Chains A and B, each alone.
Chain A
Amino acid sequence: SQTIHQWPATLVQPVGSPLSLECTVEGTSNPNLYWYRQAAGRGLQLLFYSVGIGQISSEVPQNLSASRPQDRQFILSSKKLLLSDSGFYLCAWSGRQGEELFFGSGTQLSVL
């Protein structure tokens, strides 16, 4: 069966420090991969999605970037964190388009 791993679960970082969140999927090939952010415990905002290795679509201009170095690995990065980057970050995968997304357990990021 397919599983998605996301780490770390919690992260506290100072303003201006770099960020790297990693997400890996097991049990499937060529998944669509997504990074969402949830601020203030409510709406989910799509940050990036990828339909293949090296293919990244950015939904909103921001201080973050994403990379997909391997088929089942998706990385969210920042060179210098801002206070506004605080939030709950969720990685997700799906099969073909139109199918449901399956989410990781999330990373609570606090930028201080």
Chain B
Amino acid sequence: AQKVTQAQTEISVVEKEDVTLDCVYETRDTTYYLFWYKQPPSGELVFLIRRNSFDEQNEISGRYSWNFQKSTSSFNFTITASQVVDSAVYFCALSEGSGSRLTFGEGTQLTVNP
């Protein structure tokens, strides 16, 4: 069975600090997909990134970067120079290649203070 663990329940930083959100996953499949979503106070989930298990290249998109390491089953998310608008709940999710279901972690509440 697949599982996603986000050990950090809440993180609070001051604006302009860098912050890393951790995500550890478990799966028996060799083909799988990893995702990050952002849920601002409005409630709607916003897709951020998708990674397949065969692509371990790290990715950078503006202030966002992702570190995928199969050896440690981790897919961590870093926000550089955080801003107040980054305050949200962030979810890591896993989809096994054989199915259509996404399993989500419990989420990390990020608060960026001015």
Contacts and interface: CB of A to CB of B under 8 A. Distances in A.
B46 to A, nearest CB: 8
Interface string B66-83: 000000000000000000
Nearest to A99: B50
B32 to A, nearest CB: 8
Given A101-B47, A106-B43, A106-B44, A46 B103 contact: yes
B86 interface: no
Contacts of A108: 43
Q: Which of A41, A43, A98, A108 has the most CB of B within 10 A?
A: A98
B15 to A, nearest CB: 23
Interface residues of A, number: 25
B33 A98 contact: yes
A21 to B, nearest CB: 15
Interface in B25-54: 31, 33, 35, 37, 42-45, 47, 50, 52
Contacts of A88: 43
Interface string B81-103: 00000000101000101011111
Please provide the 5 A-B residue pairs with the shortest distance between their CB atoms, ordered closest to farther: A103-B45, A44-B104, A43-B106, A97-B100, A98-B33
